Amino acid sequence: MDVERVLQRLQAAEVQHLPLKALNTDEALQPREARMVPLREQMRVERRSEEHAGTLRLALEAAHTTELEPVFAADIGGALFVADGHHRLKAYRLAKRETIPARVLPMSHREAVLVSKLVNCAERALEMHPEQRRDAAWQYLAAVTHRGAKGLPTGESFRTVAGRFGIGKDTVQRMLRTLPKVNPKDHEGHLDPGTGWPRWPRVRRGPDGWTQDAEEMNVEQITRHNAEQFAKKYGALIDQFTVEEIRLGLQLHESEVLMDTVNEDAADFARETADADADY
Q: pLDDT tens for the chain, 280 residues: list them.
A: 588 899 999 999 999 999 999 999 999 999 888 777 776 677 788 888 899 999 999 999 999 899 999 999 999 999 999 999 999 999 999 999 999 999 999 999 999 999 999 998 876 667 888 999 999 999 999 999 999 999 998 889 999 999 999 999 999 999 999 999 999 998 888 899 999 999 998 898 765 443 333 333 355 655 665 665 566 555 556 667 787 887 787 777 777 666 655 567 766 766 666 665 554 4
Q: Are 253 and 39 in contact (CB under 8 A)?
A: yes
How is the beta sheet containing 99-106 ordered, strand by strand?
15-19, 99-106, 71-76, 79-84, 23-24
Tell me the C-alpha distance between 100 and 85, whole Å.
Answer: 11
Looking at residue 43, its pLDDT comes to 78
Q: Give counts: helices (H), strands (E), the chain.
A: 11, 5
Question: Nearest Cα to 265, choosing from 139, 145, 142, 174?
Answer: 174
Q: 181 CB contacts (<8 Å, ≥6 apart)? A: 148
Tell me the C-alpha distance between 136 and 122, whole Å.
Answer: 12
| Amino acid symbol at 269 | F
Tell me the C-alpha distance between 268 and 194, whole Å.
Answer: 27
Give the side-chain half-sphere CA count within 13 A for 165: 33
Looking at residue 212, its pLDDT comes to 33
Number of residues that this document lists for the chain? 280
Q: 69 CB contacts (<8 Å, ≥6 apart)? A: 85, 88, 101, 124
Looking at residue 229, its pLDDT comes to 58
Phi/psi of residue 71, nearest 5 degrees: -80, 160
Across 93-139, the runs of DSSP E, i.e. the strands, are 99-106
Looking at residue 126, its pLDDT comes to 78
Looking at residue 98, its pLDDT comes to 96
